[in-house]
Copies of this chain bind each other. A is one copy, B any other.
Amino acid sequence: MSVAPSTIRPAPVKAAAYGGYHTRHVPQPDLEITSTNPGTPMGEYMRLFWQPVCLSIELGDLPKAIRIMGEDLVAFRDKSGNIGVMHRHCAHRGASLEYGIIDKSGIRCCYHGWHYACDGTLIDAPCEPDATRLKQTVCQGAYPAFERDGLVFAYMGPPEKKPPFPEFDTYKLPRGNKLVPFSNIYPCNWLQVFENIMDHMHTAVLHNKMVVEGVDDGTAAGLSLEGFGDMPIMTWEPTRDGNGMVFIAGRRLPNDKVWVRITEMIFPNFLQIGSLLPTAARERHSTAGCTRWNVPIDDTNMIIFGYRHFNKEVDPDGLGSEADCGVDKIDFLEGQVGDRSYEEGQRAPGDWEAIVSQRPIAVHALENPGHSDIGVYLCRKLLREIVRGKTKPDGLYASLTAEGKTLPIYAQDTVLSARRLPPAEDRKQILELNKKVLEVMRSADKLDADERDSHIRRKLDEIDGSERVGA
């Protein structure tokens, strides 16, 4: 795949041993796809989607000051249970509503008692002898917001473009699935955290006992993804007419089996991945173990909000831990959260260290991409084409959400039989399996939601049968 022009260095420098003097210049970051402040191309695009802004458990009897895409906001749940997400500073004289008093309906500014409903309308202004004019002309800047399974979502885009909230099959399937909310703060730009997901090959390095000699086995194991240690055979593909993409990772297992894993991004910042447990490589088919939104706080800070999925299909052995999911904590892998000492991070680095240390905003112009980066570069290219208006919105996504139907996803794990061949041929065979599994997932798009799962399982069984010929 080609690299977008703006990420190519203007005057390439020939690398040489001890050549630091010639490569020391640090160019500006690529703001077109990293900056999400109001009015930026990426910021306006991201505002067209519902975004999580905090966890439900963060809203008690006090308002919570939050910062999303460079906007200072306050979130609260009023005493009637309505959610307010508003500009932080009172429309009257600017006092912060983080010091406001939550009311039966809405919130009162502490300074003069101006009382706003959750939609921002002025209900009362006790210092005003005649508040009629004010009630007609003043509104606190507010955003539509609601709670869903422990996350608080807001829509910060143009009111006339507010979309329905997209429901994915995976939220309710398999039957009995439980969504457990969590967050995860990274003090760096959102994109380097998001694109890391398409950089699947790092799981075989960073998440495979990449520790300093002397680190104890328990710590090393906590940082490692069991079963992800072998280098996968990778395929990357745009999906949803360029509004999403997947990686497909095929891994050779013992006993003439191949494990095909698909992880999916839907732009701008949504993704679903399968299980991160060793059992991911055991079952015929399972889907999302985790749903995440990569939400910018501002250009140099971000917060992941997500749902861990708890069900028997993604976690047949019950290895996950609901209690370890919450505010800035998750139940898989050490090194995801900035809660360790600098030295601990050095001795046993995790995603947090590898990603945050790419600079406050990673400088793409300094990179030297290889095969493992194809997904990252495809992700950036697709985002750039969207913000430049070259990509049409996803029709299926639009029509299903408009109809209130749930959306298919492509993230999944499948284990298939496939006789081990000599390396070059085996690689080719696995690449073909990668494609076939994605085709199966896509072939369910047009079906009704309740038919998709059985259709997919049937199709995967067919592939499994056909491949088994040589076994």
Contacts and interface: CB of A to CB of B under 8 A. Distances in A.
Contact of A205 (B112, B346, B376): B112
Contacts of A369: 92-93
A231 interface: yes
A112 B201 contact: yes
Given A112-B201, A373-B93, A87 B23 contact: yes
Contacts of A451: none
A205 B353 CA distance: 48
A235 to B, nearest CB: 13
Contact of A206 (B25, B47, B110, B137): B110
Given A231-B126, A372-B112, A359 B158 contact: no
Contacts of A156: 20-21
Interface in A79-93: 86-87, 89, 91-93
Copy count, this protein chain: 3
Interface residue SS majority, chain A:
loop
A366 interface: yes
Among A71, A131, A346, A358, max chain B CB count under 10 A is at A346
Contacts of A349: 99, 110
A129 B430 CA distance: 15
Contacts of A316: none
B98 A15 contact: no
B139 A99 contact: no
A112 B159 contact: no
Given A20-B156, A21-B156, A131-B370, 12 more contacts: A15-B138, A17-B139, A18-B159, A20-B143, A21-B47, A89-B366, A94-B363, A99-B357, A101-B210, A110-B349, A126-B204, A127-B371
